[in-house]
Structure 1
């Protein structure tokens, strides 16, 4: 049980180490190309810096305003029946937003700031908008009424303080003018002169490029209205946040501050319209009342003259007092009736969509509320009519609402007058009772009282209207603002576009992803052999006996006995590992015959001849008798390494010519400082497979085994021809050569098939052509062994690793 637990723990540790090794392998695979990442990131960051340097910055400017409520307007009298002239407590913020964003408000801002003309300063690669005191010159247009949007812009270059060049790139117009000259060109007439408020030095503008363009007010208004962004700050809030984006922060701030000022003036003007209409109505009634009051007073004088009356005696006591109170109440009702009837007369006689006088003293809250609502709808309709027609659905809906309000006002007036008349009848009935008690009073006294009562009514109404006239005049003069500026226009120092951090981060990320993506695709599509691990993955049951580094071009193809290069060491390791391929025959002293080592590969150019020659030469260094036989009868390459004639007598001659003896084939002392014996392939035969199947080939092998300790056979590729499979039975072991960067990993099943079907004896795999610095680099635990054995001779001091090879 304990052994199973330890085994499981050991397996888990191995899996963790393997997973860690795979991750490191992937990382090191990409780190090999770290200069690509550095260059790509540097280029992308440079492009990002250039983009930020030469891209026009866009700034966002915001202003906050509070829409104010008028909590009751002006109340200066405290008189009975008086009421505030205005009630602005109901606020519809969405309506206010639409008013602010209207083209009417935009046109007011345009007229105030002269926004039709835009000025720019031209740099090497960047054009910046300039504003007000930053502009060295001003353009004054002579034909603004007929002006339409200008195509393109005019470029202005001051060659001196007395001369400038005007250029239109789109029409190829170019001509020189003097400041202050009237320029009549391309159906346009304007004057360019210096800006007296220019902050800079005029000499600095010489040879500097500027440009200007002009658009119609309609297009600028539409653009300005569309660029405004208005939001309500919080639910239930009365504060609006108004923002705009543009190149020039000062221009943005001026536009927003002017817009808010114009909006406030527009609201104040609406309030003054109602106050003015009320004042006009009161003045009209005052003129009428002055005439009536004069008539009453003249009648009293005439009555006294006719009846020779100087004073009237006091009588009637308490009855008279009660009668007087009833009479005063009747006078108030009569006053309300007269005011109401006059108000009705005004409604019936004036135009349908004209403002009504508000709060003229009628003591009826419903009637005052309907009148105020009617006036608000009149003002809204007048604003809509500025940019719409009668057929606009909003106008039609407003007309319907105003008609309903007008009918409600008239119905309310009729009902109110009816109630007043009922009350008046009751009071008159009481007065009749009181009057019967005055039967004993002189008729003259009664008539005087009647006349004086009429005089009192007219005087009270006259004084009341005088007071209302003053209220309306004061309201018109000191109308309160409709907004409060919470925070004036402000522009943060950093632009909203382009965002430097985002651009730089994106540049760095893209710079990293470009080489990563290229390498990923390259690794994904690359099917060539790259490492020892790939062979282990596809051929786990076949041992790897050697990893041979790539031979440098300046080095000799054939290794020497005292050579300590990485290639030489790899062949020495191969020589040692041969003993494990044929363990039963590893003790050569007891062998009656030589050991046959066959070297083959899947395709040509994988280095089997190179491996055969150097392996045989390495075996010679151990004082063994070694014979190298070239058995690639179809495409022999051994003669090229030895600088011999291709058609020299060889295996082919021995196989088809019985007169050729084995000793005739052997070439001795053909390599410098080596006792390696060599047999070439000979002439290329028309039937190599049949020759290799003959008894003469077995006879040649037996003769070689009797004389030599090792026989190394260089054979043909296995995937192209069957020659190797035919002679594999004569081999004690088979070295199967693969080449890094050339052997296709899709051919690994072919090798596995040969091993599984035992078509080749005791196969050992060789990886040829690995970069010296990359041998077993994908397995960090194996790197030390090769670095120790290949990188430098034993006892030598290792050279310092280059800093760029940090991985």
Structure 2
């Protein structure tokens, strides 16, 4: 805690300087603010179209941007910063000339509040130069080139030819009439700005940033010394961006419509050619519907093959029967059961007739012999029927063979239809595929043409200004409160640094800690700063008691009081300790090695060693004389010369039983402590103690200034 207080003492001592420095800094800051040109900022917020949400995602407006992908915020920011867009914006704003009312220290741009109007017809030579105008009356003025002392007389409303072109200066009567107390006669400055200079100024003060990387909103900020300019630029830039977007969209849609129309005409021709090719191919190959025709032919062949199979089966049975009959004609009735494939009604009746005749024959044979006419007639009838039946089987076989051959030929002819069918199907599939391709392309192009025509007709933009810029009434720079606070803080910090630098450069013995840090010599007493004479006696009586309690006051002892620079620095302690010892009832001798104490001490117990009778003594004789005088007293106080200047200082210090070295907290340099330490070791001085004068004294700067002023006045009286 004591260490913290010790560190803060220079700060507390220099507090008036710190306050004064802060006040001066604040006053300077306010003076600066009164002359600096304020900057005003205006902000406009622009919301970008998002095709993933809202109206643009509707089917009607799905491709309004002509196949565009999602907006990239960073890309749109760069578009807004582009030189092309800025040039188009600037061309619509009255930023090509600046008119200032010129003051002694500050010039103020008038912009739309100017009592004069200036029109120019200049070449490139006349731009980017600051011309001066001194209005003499409501009719006449003086024109000055930059840095020129001689002017050109001119009149309002009459063209003035200058280097680089012609200018026409007139009075802004509507504005003048609206401001009855307006001062027209004054000094003005004006400048015609080139396109590049305007662009450089705009780019310098323009800031375009997205609100958030995931939010399609862009913030357009612009700073200007005229608030109306800032608001005009951000709003016009946003409007130009939207208008440019609409124009580009219209141009793209218009180009797309023209392109689609050409492609549609070409696609229509190719589609018509494809239809004709299909028709021609069908006509050449007699194709109506390949699939249905193929199915019909296959069904027909299948039915013919079934019939062929049935006939084949019957034919095979008849051939087999015919073979049986040929081989066993005499036993015809035994073959009759094999007439499976020959079972028509006539054949059946004939077999029945044969059997009936055979039955009759058997009956006749019971009565007649085989040679009987009746038996022979029956045998003849039976043979006739058998021959007829055999011939019938042969004819049936021939008929079946004819049918079988006819069906086989028909099947063969029907199967000829399928020869080359895969090639026909392949060619027809190719033609159909080509037709479908052209048809799909034609339909797609027509759909896109309709959408592009809608986009061309709908001159709207889904980009929109959600927050227009307004003219600010409060400047953004300089920020008065911040500048004043910073000036006060800088004044405070600067003064604190200066105070501590001075404190370190002076390096005085400020407190007990400094002595203890730099020396092994102990501290006998620390005398506080005594403001009242009444307290002086009490303080030194207490210090005399402290010396006694520490065992420094021995019988017949000699206390030598010294200082380093000047003997006046320890005279105060020498006199007051002497008087304090006397008040304690001691018989004390005051030995003055300098003679400084003689005016203040009127007592018999005073010896002035600067008296001529003592100066004639040798050093040894003086020591003997002093020792002889001290024998008659309980205690002796020797007011020594300064260590730096005295010739007998070390000699007197060697006589002492106790050596008190006075250090002043406000005057003695810190390095003196080390020098005294070295002096003690070099000359082996006995019983050396430090006494800190004005311990804990930390006077304010005002006190020091007051002392210096009093000293100055005293020296110049």
Measured against the shorter chain, the TM-score band is 0.5 to 0.7
- Deviations along 1:366-407, one digit per CA (max 9) or x if unpaired, are xxxxxxxxxxxxxxxxxxxxxxxxxxxxxxxxxxxxxxxxxx
Structure 2 equivalent of residue 362 of structure 1: 264
Equivalents in 2 of 1:117, 1:754: separation in Å?
82
Structure 2 equivalent of residue 142 of structure 1: 121
Structure 1 equivalent of residue 229 of structure 2: 251
**Offset at residue 362 of structure 1 (A):** 2.9
Structure 2 residue 665 is the aligned partner of structure 1 residue 740: yes
**Offset at residue 727 of structure 1 (A):** 4.9
Going from structure 1 to structure 2, the CA distance change for 1:187 and 1:575 (only over 3 Å counts) comes to: same
**Structure 2 counterpart SS, 1:243:** strand
Equivalents in 2 of 1:99, 1:128: separation in Å?
33
Structure 2 residue 138 is the aligned partner of structure 1 residue 177: no
Range that drifts further, 723-732 or 467-476: 467-476
Structure 2 equivalent of residue 191 of structure 1: 168
**Offset at residue 170 of structure 1 (A):** 1.7
Structure 2 equivalent of residue 787 of structure 1: none
Structure 1 equivalent of residue 374 of structure 2: none
Structure 1 equivalent of residue 245 of structure 2: 267
- Map 1:403-442; keep pairs closer than 5 Å: 425-431=277-283
Structure 2 equivalent of residue 520 of structure 1: 500
Structure 1 equivalent of residue 549 of structure 2: 580
Equivalents in 2 of 1:706, 1:684: separation in Å?
20
Q: Does the 8 Å CA contact 2:561/2:660 hold for their aligned counterparts?
A: yes
Structure 2 residue 87 is the aligned partner of structure 1 residue 107: yes
**Structure 2 counterpart SS, 1:480:** coil
- Map 1:68-147; keep pairs closer than 5 Å: 68=49, 86-88=66-68, 90-123=70-103, 125-132=105-112, 134-143=113-122, 146-147=123-124
Q: 1:30 aligns with which of 11, 23, 44?
A: 11
Equivalents in 2 of 1:567, 1:95: separation in Å?
85
- Deviations along 1:478-527, one digit per CA (max 9) or x if unpaired, are 43236322222245544332122321221111111121001111122222
**Structure 2 counterpart SS, 1:112:** coil
Equivalents in 1 of 2:677, 2:276: separation in Å?
124
Structure 2 residue 207 is the aligned partner of structure 1 residue 241: no
- Map 1:224-623; keep pairs closer than 5 Å: 224-225=202-203, 227-274=205-252, 357-359=259-261, 362=264, 425-431=277-283, 478-481=458-461, 483-490=463-470, 492-539=472-519, 542-545=522-525, 547=527, 549=529, 564-580=533-549, 582=551, 585=554, 594-605=556-567, 607-620=569-582
Q: Does the 8 Å CA contact 1:60/1:249 hold for their aligned counterparts?
A: yes
Q: Does the 8 Å CA contact 1:582/1:762 hold for their aligned counterparts?
A: no
Q: Specify which structure has the bigger relative contact order, considering alpha-carbon pairs within 8 angstroms and separated by 6 or more residues.
A: 2
Q: Does the 8 Å CA contact 1:119/1:135 hold for their aligned counterparts?
A: yes
The two structures have a TM-score, normalised by structure 2, of: 0.64
Structure 1 equivalent of residue 713 of structure 2: none
Equivalents in 2 of 1:697, 1:524: separation in Å?
43
**Structure 2 counterpart SS, 1:45:** helix
Q: Does the 8 Å CA contact 1:155/1:210 hold for their aligned counterparts?
A: yes
**Offset at residue 426 of structure 1 (A):** 3.2
Equivalents in 2 of 1:269, 1:732: separation in Å?
109
Equivalents in 1 of 2:288, 2:634: separation in Å?
167
**Offset at residue 431 of structure 1 (A):** 4.9
Equivalents in 1 of 2:623, 2:216: separation in Å?
108
Equivalents in 2 of 1:110, 1:361: separation in Å?
41
Which structure has the larger Rg? 2
Q: Does the 8 Å CA contact 1:60/1:495 hold for their aligned counterparts?
A: yes
Structure 2 unaligned spans of 5+: 290-444, 700-717
Equivalents in 2 of 1:149, 1:105: separation in Å?
26
Structure 2 residue 656 is the aligned partner of structure 1 residue 731: yes
Q: Does the 8 Å CA contact 2:563/2:662 hold for their aligned counterparts?
A: yes
- Deviations along 1:68-91, one digit per CA (max 9) or x if unpaired, are 478599979xxxxxx989444554
Going from structure 1 to structure 2, the CA distance change for 1:234 and 1:253 (only over 3 Å counts) comes to: same
Structure 2 residue 601 is the aligned partner of structure 1 residue 678: no
**Offset at residue 30 of structure 1 (A):** 1.7
Q: Does the 8 Å CA contact 1:278/1:472 hold for their aligned counterparts?
A: yes
Q: Does the 8 Å CA contact 2:523/2:691 hold for their aligned counterparts?
A: no
Structure 1 unaligned spans of 5+: 1-19, 77-82, 282-356, 364-412, 438-464, 552-562, 587-593, 632-636, 644-670, 780-807
**Structure 2 counterpart SS, 1:741:** coil
- Deviations along 1:39-77, one digit per CA (max 9) or x if unpaired, are 11111111222222322121222222234478599979x
- Deviations along 1:698-753, one digit per CA (max 9) or x if unpaired, are 54234313333333323344567784554555433332222333333223244446
Equivalents in 1 of 2:624, 2:614: separation in Å?
19
Going from structure 1 to structure 2, the CA distance change for 1:25 and 1:734 (only over 3 Å counts) comes to: same
- Deviations along 1:314-334, one digit per CA (max 9) or x if unpaired, are xxxxxxxxxxxxxxxxxxxxx
- Map 1:33-48; keep pairs closer than 5 Å: 33-48=14-29
Structure 2 equivalent of residue 219 of structure 1: 197
Going from structure 1 to structure 2, the CA distance change for 1:766 and 1:98 (only over 3 Å counts) comes to: closer
Q: When you count helix as a share of all residues, which structure comes out higher?
A: 2
Going from structure 1 to structure 2, the CA distance change for 1:436 and 1:427 (only over 3 Å counts) comes to: closer
May I ask how many residue pairs the two structures share in their alignment? 539
Going from structure 1 to structure 2, the CA distance change for 1:524 and 1:487 (only over 3 Å counts) comes to: same
Going from structure 1 to structure 2, the CA distance change for 1:277 and 1:196 (only over 3 Å counts) comes to: farther
Q: 1:642 aligns with which of 598, 603, 616?
A: 598
Going from structure 1 to structure 2, the CA distance change for 1:264 and 1:434 (only over 3 Å counts) comes to: farther
Q: 2:34 aligns with which of 45, 49, 53?
A: 53
Range that drifts further, 707-716 or 510-519: 707-716
Two-structure CA RMSD over aligned residues (Å): 4.4
**Offset at residue 213 of structure 1 (A):** 0.9
Q: Does the 8 Å CA contact 2:587/2:633 hold for their aligned counterparts?
A: yes
- Deviations along 1:642-662, one digit per CA (max 9) or x if unpaired, are 37xxxxxxxxxxxxxxxxxxx
**Offset at residue 673 of structure 1 (A):** 5.1
- Deviations along 1:295-339, one digit per CA (max 9) or x if unpaired, are xxxxxxxxxxxxxxxxxxxxxxxxxxxxxxxxxxxxxxxxxxxxx
Equivalents in 2 of 1:500, 1:708: separation in Å?
76
- Map 1:614-763; keep pairs closer than 5 Å: 614-620=576-582, 625-631=587-593, 637-638=594-595, 640-642=596-598, 674-682=603-611, 691-692=618-619, 694=620, 696-718=621-643, 723-728=648-653, 730-752=655-677, 759-763=684-688
The two structures have a TM-score, normalised by structure 1, of: 0.57
Q: Does the 8 Å CA contact 1:549/1:567 hold for their aligned counterparts?
A: no
Range that drifts further, 199-208 or 510-519: 199-208
Going from structure 1 to structure 2, the CA distance change for 1:629 and 1:466 (only over 3 Å counts) comes to: closer
Equivalents in 1 of 2:281, 2:637: separation in Å?
150
Structure 2 equivalent of residue 446 of structure 1: none
- Deviations along 1:514-562, one digit per CA (max 9) or x if unpaired, are 21001111122222223344334445662323527589xxxxxxxxxxx
Q: Does the 8 Å CA contact 1:627/1:711 hold for their aligned counterparts?
A: yes
Q: Does the 8 Å CA contact 2:510/2:666 hold for their aligned counterparts?
A: yes
**Offset at residue 186 of structure 1 (A):** 3.3
Going from structure 1 to structure 2, the CA distance change for 1:568 and 1:198 (only over 3 Å counts) comes to: same
Q: Does the 8 Å CA contact 1:595/1:709 hold for their aligned counterparts?
A: yes
**Offset at residue 201 of structure 1 (A):** 1.1
**Offset at residue 37 of structure 1 (A):** 1.2
Going from structure 1 to structure 2, the CA distance change for 1:431 and 1:177 (only over 3 Å counts) comes to: same
Equivalents in 2 of 1:42, 1:547: separation in Å?
37
Q: Does the 8 Å CA contact 1:137/1:193 hold for their aligned counterparts?
A: yes
Structure 1 equivalent of residue 395 of structure 2: none
**Offset at residue 204 of structure 1 (A):** 0.8
